[in-house]
Structure 1
Amino acid sequence: MSHDLAPLYAQHVATLRQRADQALALGGFDHLLIAASTPLRIFLDDQDYPFVANPHFRHWLPLTDAPGSWVVYTPGDKPKLIFVQPRDYWHVVPAAPSGYWVGQFDITIVRTYAEAVALLPKGRRAVIAPECPSIEGVEANNPEVVVNYLHWHRSYKTPYELVLMREASRIGTRAHHAAEKAFRAGESEFGIQLAYLAAARQTEKELPYSNIVCLNEHAAVLHYTHFDRIPPKQRRTFLIDAGANASGYASDITRTYAADGHQEFQALIDSMERAQQGFGAKVKAGQSYPELHIHAHHVLAEVLREHGLIRLSAESAVQSGVTSAFFPHGLGHPIGLQVHDVAGFQANESGGFIARPEGHPYLRMTRALEPGMVVTIEPGLYFIDMLLEELRAKPVANDIDWNKVDAFRPYGGIRIEDDVVCTDGEPENLTRDAFAAHA
């Protein structure tokens, strides 16, 4: 990253301190203690699952691999980092903290988890941590009033966070280009995955989520993570949903491609591309995300009509559930420190819950958009056997061209996804900007 992160990071920490001051005051606490967490042990084994640091810990500092460490914040005092650097010749020991961020913390290095816990301040403590035996001696109370306040405000990304999310998008789009090239060269799903990892220069455990790499009908499985080792005899389509990680921040990008000679499906992709860009353009302050999701269903109904798949009006297609059979997931979700970031349903900084629209159980955000929020926009159109069989049993089945549907089944489906920032003006499309820069 060419950007000078030190001043932006200083502003970021100042913002987090203000939020923590308010959250602690609301709960009547003296200290905020945030555990990086520790790896989970595999059942009946002497190995651990890949370590994923607590997102609250990563919010304060760009350490993604510091198991057992703690951030300690007491209002009025400089934030503290208790950093565990064990004596260990079996594993790589985390390097002592260094870089643009260390000046914002008082740092103490210890050798064991127990030593770290012993240094935690006493008193009224808000402890944000998983409940696990490895932090015995500390009650992970995760007070609701504190967590709700912090989650609500985490929705609004600081300038520092947006720099890291732009970098995650740049890494992801670079790897997406390599994946498309591997598809065009006839690679298997596994071969495409290897090309992606090499271009991203990240291991599978470093990525923000397991890549979805689908050839042909596999695109009809929404979370397909199998990776066939042998290329199909005929290449029809390629759907890839894959992101990247930048100092703990995620990108989440999906593209769908048709193989040469499959013009009819390419035309369907082109229509979805136009629709998706239209939805992305509506990521503006005040826009209700559920209303945008419902709008997307009406637009996709028109896409289905345009390509001869249905004969219903858009309104009828949405009301009767036809569009939900072809587009069964939500339009998107908040993104940031987590791929599906927090507070997507939260009513206010105290908590509460904003319900999903009836008939749309998989929508992952129900808030209105505000400046600083980052969301994904990922409409899909799929040919999923199970859902199509259910649709065939409904009275509206006569208004569907099943021959066309059957012709598209071997292609699996289409999803196109961008990460978009809501601003005070026009939206910033992190994904499209990164693709344009890497064209």
Structure 2
Amino acid sequence: MDRMHSLFAEHIKVLQARVVEALKLQHFDALIIHSGQLKKAFLDDQTYPFKANPHFKHWLPVFENPNCWLVVNGIDKPKLIYFRPVDYWHKAPPEPVDFWADYFDIELLSRAELVADLLPYDRASMAYIGEHLEVAQALGIGHANPEYVLNYLHYHRSFKTDYEMHCLRQANEIAVRGHQAAKAAFLEGLSEFEINQAYLNAVGQSDNEVPYASIIALNEHAAVLHYSHPERQSPIELRSFLIDAGANFAGYASDITRTYSAKQDRFADLIKAINQLQLALIGDIKVGMRYTDLHLRSHQLLAQVLLDFGLAQGSIESLVNTEITNTFFSHGLGHVLGLQVHDVAGFMQDERGTPLAAPQAHSALRCTRIIEPRQVYTIEPGVYFIDDLLGQLKQRSEHKQVNWAKVDEFRPYGGIRIEDNIVVHSSQIENLTRDAGLD
């Protein structure tokens, strides 16, 4: 706990310094950061699962409690207005006594509509950070989500503090336990639904607590990049398993993918090749290179795999330049990771928010940043046999470069993705996923 205190103290110090600089950009006195509110389903009294404002949970590991507020100016001790209702219908959140509580002046809020009594009196020169703009207006907060302030905070959020890196390591360790349990469930012949339950049990989190809906795909379902309809019956023939699943720790996300073959067959060999490709890409990462270039490098390596497995013919250059590799690998190599799975500022080139779009031929790429120390990324190359994309390729003249009989052999397996979470240091790359024990 002493280590958590020291890590968190330095984390708050960094956030305070960032706020000082952000406030200078538009001359605000303070930021008022809202955790968010519960939302009711249309024509219903049931609410959707609560997701905290990432700007709020950046300051403290409170991500399940709505109607909380932070007042920060970068100089004074941050003020936390902590919602703790008197409510016999629901379990009230406990009083904040964890290690992080020492770093805030805390006032308890018993009714959400009384927050004005606890906020600063003159709020006209302050800025609201959150999604409920009507609430900010009703409270007389002068500005909402000012662009320059948000750009500055988003850009610098890509540089993780030691506390954040600790949280991301823990999130990976938790998720790895789930991945190992899911692999065992697959080898036992369980259904997609049952494998998902095994994963959740192992990580100790519910479907609403993990950072995103897990992708649990057997056989040809692995060709659906965001497959989200797990079947309750096991397939008659078990061929392959793709799992893309993460875990949450203190509001920080892990995002890990693995693919397995039911047999030691040619598809298993292809998995090994993509795994080697992924490790080679991680080995190629250098501080100062652009993430886009790493993505383009992944297509060159994939072209070689297509040639090695007889899926295509020609040269690496021809397979890349004619976008044949795009058919087999249609998503981006990865993204920034942190408080959100697809974290902010992936396209920002500076703290003013100057954007750089992905190349036109690779529009699904989620990141064009210059790679720098303290950044955290996913690296997730893949190869897929997607009927729609393959059908489009068949209509092009370049289809003659593809060995369609070989493609048809792999279609029943769906596809492959291997994804690790990595931290960039000045002299090395830390692989959070492999270090946590997942091969």
TM over 0.5: yes
For the residues of structure 1 that align with 2:149 and 2:419, how far apart are their CA atoms? 33
Question: In the superposition, relative to structure 1, how do residues 284 and 116 fare at CA in structure 2: closer, same or farther (>3 Å)?
Answer: farther
The AA in structure 1 aligned to 2:230 is F
The answer on whether the counterparts of 1:84 and 1:116 sit within 8 Å (CA) in structure 2 is no
In structure 2, runs of 5+ residues without a counterpart are: none
* 1:3 Cα deviation from its structure 2 partner: 7.7
The answer on whether the counterparts of 2:307 and 2:313 sit within 8 Å (CA) in structure 1 is yes
For the residues of structure 1 that align with 2:405 and 2:2, how far apart are their CA atoms? 54
Matched, 1:203 2:206: yes
For the residues of structure 2 that align with 1:229 and 1:393, how far apart are their CA atoms? 36
Identify the range of structure 1 (371-380 vs 346-355) with the bigger mean alpha-carbon deviation. 346-355
Within a 5 Å distance, the mapping from 1:227-246 to structure 2 comes to 227-246=230-249
The AA in structure 2 aligned to 1:129 is G
2:9 counterpart residue number: 10
Runs of 4+ in 1 over 6 A off after TM superposition: none
The answer on whether the counterparts of 1:152 and 1:343 sit within 8 Å (CA) in structure 2 is yes
1:55 counterpart residue number: 54
2:378 counterpart residue number: 376
* 1:74 Cα deviation from its structure 2 partner: 2.4
* 1:128 Cα deviation from its structure 2 partner: 0.2
For the residues of structure 2 that align with 1:292 and 1:366, how far apart are their CA atoms? 10
1:390 counterpart residue number: 392
2:415 counterpart residue number: 413
* 1:114 Cα deviation from its structure 2 partner: 1.8
Matched, 1:247 2:247: no
Find the residue that maps to 1:299 and give its secondary structure: helix
1:213 counterpart residue number: 216
* 1:387 Cα deviation from its structure 2 partner: 0.1
Question: In the superposition, relative to structure 1, how do residues 266 and 40 fare at CA in structure 2: closer, same or farther (>3 Å)?
Answer: same
For the residues of structure 1 that align with 2:252 and 2:2, how far apart are their CA atoms? 16
Find the residue that maps to 1:270 and give its secondary structure: helix
For the residues of structure 2 that align with 1:116 and 1:277, how far apart are their CA atoms? 51
Identify the range of structure 1 (248-257 vs 122-131) with the bigger mean alpha-carbon deviation. 122-131
Identify the range of structure 1 (123-132 vs 225-234) with the bigger mean alpha-carbon deviation. 123-132
For the residues of structure 2 that align with 1:297 and 1:3, how far apart are their CA atoms? 46
Question: In the superposition, relative to structure 1, how do residues 203 and 268 fare at CA in structure 2: closer, same or farther (>3 Å)?
Answer: same
Identify the range of structure 1 (136-145 vs 377-386) with the bigger mean alpha-carbon deviation. 136-145
2:299 counterpart residue number: 297
For the residues of structure 1 that align with 2:256 and 2:130, how far apart are their CA atoms? 30
* 1:271 Cα deviation from its structure 2 partner: 0.4
The AA in structure 1 aligned to 2:202 is A
Find the residue that maps to 1:202 and give its secondary structure: coil
2:111 counterpart residue number: 112
The answer on whether the counterparts of 1:38 and 1:51 sit within 8 Å (CA) in structure 2 is yes
The answer on whether the counterparts of 1:383 and 1:408 sit within 8 Å (CA) in structure 2 is yes
Within a 5 Å distance, the mapping from 1:254-333 to structure 2 comes to 254-261=257-264, 263-333=265-335
1:356 counterpart residue number: 358
* 1:110 Cα deviation from its structure 2 partner: 1.3
Q: Over the residues paired in the alignment, what is the CA RMSD in angstroms?
A: 1.3
Identify the range of structure 1 (409-418 vs 312-321) with the bigger mean alpha-carbon deviation. 312-321
Find the residue that maps to 2:183 and give its secondary structure: helix
For the residues of structure 1 that align with 2:32 and 2:429, how far apart are their CA atoms? 35
For the residues of structure 1 that align with 2:404 and 2:104, how far apart are their CA atoms? 63
The answer on whether the counterparts of 2:15 and 2:74 sit within 8 Å (CA) in structure 1 is no
* 1:260 Cα deviation from its structure 2 partner: 2.0
Question: In the superposition, relative to structure 1, how do residues 129 and 36 fare at CA in structure 2: closer, same or farther (>3 Å)?
Answer: same
Question: In the superposition, relative to structure 1, how do residues 423 and 3 fare at CA in structure 2: closer, same or farther (>3 Å)?
Answer: farther
1:131 counterpart residue number: 132
1:159 counterpart residue number: 162
The answer on whether the counterparts of 1:126 and 1:146 sit within 8 Å (CA) in structure 2 is no
The answer on whether the counterparts of 2:34 and 2:130 sit within 8 Å (CA) in structure 1 is yes
Find the residue that maps to 1:281 and give its secondary structure: helix
For the residues of structure 2 that align with 1:19 and 1:196, how far apart are their CA atoms? 38
The AA in structure 2 aligned to 1:171 is I
For the residues of structure 2 that align with 1:126 and 1:305, how far apart are their CA atoms? 56
* 1:120 Cα deviation from its structure 2 partner: 1.7
The answer on whether the counterparts of 1:38 and 1:134 sit within 8 Å (CA) in structure 2 is no
CA displacement, residues 179-229 of structure 1 (integer Å, 9 cap, x when unaligned): 000000000000000000000000110000000000000000000011100
1:337 counterpart residue number: 339
* 1:234 Cα deviation from its structure 2 partner: 0.4
For the residues of structure 2 that align with 1:260 and 1:155, how far apart are their CA atoms? 41
Give the TM-score taking structure 2 as reference length.
Answer: 0.97
The answer on whether the counterparts of 1:24 and 1:126 sit within 8 Å (CA) in structure 2 is no
Find the residue that maps to 2:436 and give its secondary structure: helix
1:23 counterpart residue number: 22
The answer on whether the counterparts of 2:71 and 2:79 sit within 8 Å (CA) in structure 1 is yes
Question: In the superposition, relative to structure 1, how do residues 364 and 275 fare at CA in structure 2: closer, same or farther (>3 Å)?
Answer: same
Identity %: 48
The AA in structure 2 aligned to 1:291 is D
CA displacement, residues 289-319 of structure 1 (integer Å, 9 cap, x when unaligned): 0000000001001000000000021111111
Find the residue that maps to 1:60 and give its secondary structure: coil
For the residues of structure 2 that align with 1:223 and 1:117, how far apart are their CA atoms? 42
* 1:142 Cα deviation from its structure 2 partner: 0.2
* 1:283 Cα deviation from its structure 2 partner: 3.0
For the residues of structure 1 that align with 2:6 and 2:99, how far apart are their CA atoms? 9
* 1:98 Cα deviation from its structure 2 partner: 1.4
For the residues of structure 2 that align with 1:117 and 1:178, how far apart are their CA atoms? 48
For the residues of structure 2 that align with 1:434 and 1:418, how far apart are their CA atoms? 11
The answer on whether the counterparts of 1:30 and 1:75 sit within 8 Å (CA) in structure 2 is no
1:64 counterpart residue number: 63
Matched, 1:346 2:345: no
Question: In the superposition, relative to structure 1, how do residues 117 and 362 fare at CA in structure 2: closer, same or farther (>3 Å)?
Answer: farther
In structure 1, runs of 5+ residues without a counterpart are: none
1:39 counterpart residue number: 38
For the residues of structure 2 that align with 1:257 and 1:304, how far apart are their CA atoms? 19
* 1:118 Cα deviation from its structure 2 partner: 3.1
* 1:39 Cα deviation from its structure 2 partner: 1.4
For the residues of structure 2 that align with 1:418 and 1:141, how far apart are their CA atoms? 36
Give the TM-score taking structure 1 as reference length.
Answer: 0.97
Identify the range of structure 1 (71-80 vs 333-342) with the bigger mean alpha-carbon deviation. 71-80
